[in-house]
Amino acid sequence: MFPFLGRLQRKAGLHKHAQGKHEDTIIASLLYRPSETGVQNHPQSLPQGQIDISEADTVRKIDTLILRALHSPNGLALVCIENFFTGLHLVHPLFDETVFRNRCKKELWCNRPRNVFKGLEALYYAVLALGALVSNADDFYPAILEHETGDLYVLSLSSTKRSTFNIPMCIARRCFEQAKFRLTDIFEVSNLERTQALYLLSVYCQNTLNPHSCHLYSGMAVTTGIAIGLPQGRAHQSFSFDIGPHTEPRSWWCIYAHEVEMSCASGRGIVLKPPAHYMLAHPADIQPPSTTRATHDMFINIMVSLAGLLRQVFEDLYQQYHFDRQGSRDTVRKLAQELDSWRMHLPPVFNFDRVSLTDPDHIRRQKVVLKIRYYNVQILLYRRYVETWSRLALVCQSAAEVNSCLAAAQKTIRLLFDTCQHESYFRTWWYNNTYLLNAAMVALAIAFIHLKDDSVDEIFSDVQKALDVFDAMSAITVARRCATVIKEVYEVTRSLAEKLKTTSESSTTLASNAGPDLSASGGTGVGIALRASMGAAPDSHSHASFQDSMLPEDIWSSIFETGPKSGALGFAPDVDFNFDFDIDSPLMG
């Protein structure tokens, strides 16, 4: 993603430079925010520099409440737990909510001292961290005041100061640190709770847009799970209590689907074997007693099968040194058929093509997740054709694939926009920024080639919707900076399209008067119009500006500078710049 986005931004910068508006902005600096504490890039952490005394006092009081939450179901803990089970738990249904709450009551929220396993404490704080991460500040004001009346001075701060201090993010970060602290002996002691805690910490890093840590925690969860015999269904042998028939398969297959997605997203390759290699039954194969549990189990099965398709797309299309459009067409067609078959064989309750006003909330949210990820796999399936589409002469050869990629990108943007518009919870599911950035980038890329077509207006409308969604998620730094990059390229591309419309008639006349040799020298009407729109004379051969001498297809070719040593998106796969988003990533962009 970054090679393409960086080059696209540089092209926009060159055009702005020709207009005297260029600013020396580097793509890395836009999407990278150094952390004060060494914990990499958690969204909307405490303000940099000196913290206001009242805010520092608030942080201390929040820390006190978080520590108390371990042994008392105070308002803060209950809000986090509730928001977790109505939020990200629906995407990662690792365990049963009732079982978790009962264990908290028996082993944590008791009035007598108990010897509690560190693994359970780590799991507990990981749940609190994810619950806080998707919360709004207003969720905590009544809960906190219920137990600590008047203690949080932040409630009396001015609105300006309060906007710079994000209580949910502060709580999430502190709980994340508490969970990490209780996993320091992970290499000496391993059990199911520690495995689940590592997995949830990976999910936390995924949703705080920290792919490097996400990949590491996910890998540790996989390794720990294998070490305790989780894929073979033997983890229960180390417990003195009954964990139920669903916990092990749910845990392993949630970890499996997540690990495959994050491995593809980070471009690091997939270590896990295909699902059929593992003996553990899928959750839905074990007859569950309740409807809600049954749908969660079905959802996990669906995610595992989609992860298998994603794995094939990644290995067949993104781990090649060279992408052969013609040679890969049969592979792409076969994968597209398998993806359509996956959609057609979804259980009726998860058929996202069917709109039902009677669906429970958790089903509606899970259907949205499935639909977004389905579109994302579609984008990845066809995006290699967009990346290698470097000459207008090849339009007819790849038009179907490119149009399919554009359609999936536009559907992604519209779905995210509509959901954010009608469902406020969705605005705090931060990982959707990656799907949105991917779709907006593809839409802009294709718009750049279709500058002279009427269809570009529809693409621009969708890109504007993407910017609106970024604005709705502006509580995190990455969303704001993604919006900055996309907006810059969008404005330049739109400006070029408008100028092309006004100069197309004169450029066509000029091309016809120049004679037949003009097209042979690269002087097509589109190329002349593009150069004219950039401020260069149509017949100019000056090399003062690199972009002035380029046709649209040449600009496109220079954006995708892939080579035999490049990774899936145009650079060496072993490069790691520790950005907020990973760089070698088909899923992240």
- Give CA separation, 389 vs 92, 379, 394, 453, 543, in Å: 37, 15, 7, 17, 25
Burial string for 551-585 (b: 16+ CB within 10 Å, else e) reads: bbbbbbeebbebeeebbbbbbebeeeeebbbbbbb
| pLDDT the model gives residue 522 | 42
Full 3-state SS string of 84-126 = HHCCHHHCCCCCCHHHHHHHHHHHHCCCCCCCCCHHHHHHHHH
- pLDDT tens string, the chain, 589 residues long: the values are 555 555 555 555 555 554 544 444 444 344 444 443 333 333 334 333 334 445 676 677 778 878 888 887 878 889 999 999 999 999 999 988 988 998 898 888 886 656 678 889 999 999 999 999 999 888 887 655 554 444 444 444 444 444 456 889 989 999 999 999 999 887 888 889 999 999 999 999 999 988 899 999 999 999 999 999 888 876 655 554 445 567 888 999 999 999 999 998 888 888 888 888 887 777 755 555 456 778 899 999 999 999 999 999 998 888 877 777 777 888 999 999 999 999 999 999 999 999 888 899 999 999 999 999 999 999 999 998 887 665 444 455 678 888 999 999 999 999 999 999 999 899 999 999 999 999 999 999 888 877 667 778 899 999 999 999 999 998 888 888 889 989 988 998 888 888 877 776 555 555 555 544 434 444 433 343 334 333 444 343 433 333 444 444 444 444 444 333 333 333 333 333 233 333 334 444 3
| pLDDT the model gives residue 453 | 73
| pLDDT the model gives residue 145 | 54
Which helix (H) or strand (E) segment is 568 a member of? none
What one-character DSSP code corresponds to residue 315? I
Rounded-to-integer distance, Cα 324 and Cα 137, Å:
51
380: amino acid identity, one letter = L
Nearest to 275 by CA among 238, 229, 306, 247: 306
| pLDDT the model gives residue 144 | 58
Rounded-to-integer distance, Cα 526 and Cα 505, Å:
10
- Give CA separation, 495 vs 4, 84, 467, 537, in Å: 20, 44, 17, 18
Which helix (H) or strand (E) segment is 45 a member of? none
Nearest to 56 by CA among 185, 205, 157: 157
Q: Tokens 């509606």, residue? A: 364
| pLDDT the model gives residue 136 | 87
CA dihedral for 96, 98, 102, 105, sign (positive or negative) = positive
